[in-house]
Structure 1
């Protein structure tokens, strides 16, 4: 798990990914064929369930694509179930302090690091590869805390100090909302906060990622030093392409989309 992604990050190269919000496993299959480095299946928002996650993971099998899940909460149940169906790691939302990072770590990792229970589900090939998986999972799984509130920014140094934190993911929209700019992608001061987080994480050897909403923004984020850049969401990318073609065909866009 995550070998190709970690190799790219170790080479200080930007790894490009995509947010997955549709249940269609073909989305993940195409992402793998096109050479994306990672995807994140979003359970925090929308309607995806564990059966959908399993289908996406099956579509990625045999490729070098890292498949992350964003669980709906930091609770034990959604975390362990996402891992049991085979997720390669988690991007966990609304982390506010180091204590929450430690709590989530307990759910993700087997002893002695955490207290994840051993099951016989898809992650261990229904028990056929249990020994191999259990021995390697603590080293191979990736956990990315999302830094997306003012409280998390205030506690950034302690969050970054937690052992085994190798990457974080930024949420500019929620950061803006937590500072009173609800509905803005980068509200007042958030652009500067993003770059400050990037710099402070980088000083500790921790990679930072975020979502780009256009090719131009992806280039900017790459050049700024973000090493995990989402090109958008599956539906958002479809909207972006249709909007672009419709505009050129004289059918102007009706609505604005974040992603």
Structure 2
């Protein structure tokens, strides 16, 4: 018997405030990454599923353009859902979301173009972790998108190394772990930042990260030699097989300097 668990995007859970020392945004790439995170959260906060829409799972991809003051310039379905009601609901998310968070002053240009996937299941819309990407090449966004892809790969890599002790069955709790990876994918350090209150689960959380060595290597153009990632988990206490489609989300709390 194994235990199902969910990994949640720290930003969406409002947990970023727990790590202010790591929320460094002193380069254009870091500010671009932080802005993309705010855009994603803003889009998620404006989702609304239409009552009359069909309940089958599916997805759509949207291209949207916003101006420097956060105004919506355009939004277009790049991939439709196959349902007119759902297509209209997806586009309405972006209409409701304006004005969007304004871009950092250091990012040049009067308008910014992005694509973002929207996944829906039954009565729920979701933006996949690190799904929002710049549509037009910009140096700051290019590296930001590469780092997002790497963070997603690391999170999924950790997920594949899940193993839990039998005594954890039936125990519920939340855990958070932060770990530092170097350019070669070596684990430099890891630490529990939120405890479940149950020692075997806490130990299993740390062991999951340790079993994941070596990690996928960070992008070659990443500025820092050390990268810090924090992952938050909710153990639901349910026995049974793993559910691979469970939510797998994580948030990079900042580039690590002097860790």
Q: Which has the higher relative contact order, 1 or 2, with Cα contacts under 8 A spaced 6 or more apart?
A: 2
Give the number of the structure whose residues are more often helix, by fraction: 1
- Do Structure 1 and Structure 2 share a fold, with TM-score over 0.5? no
Bigger Rg, structure 1 or 2: 2
Report the structure, 1 or 2, having the larger strand content: 2
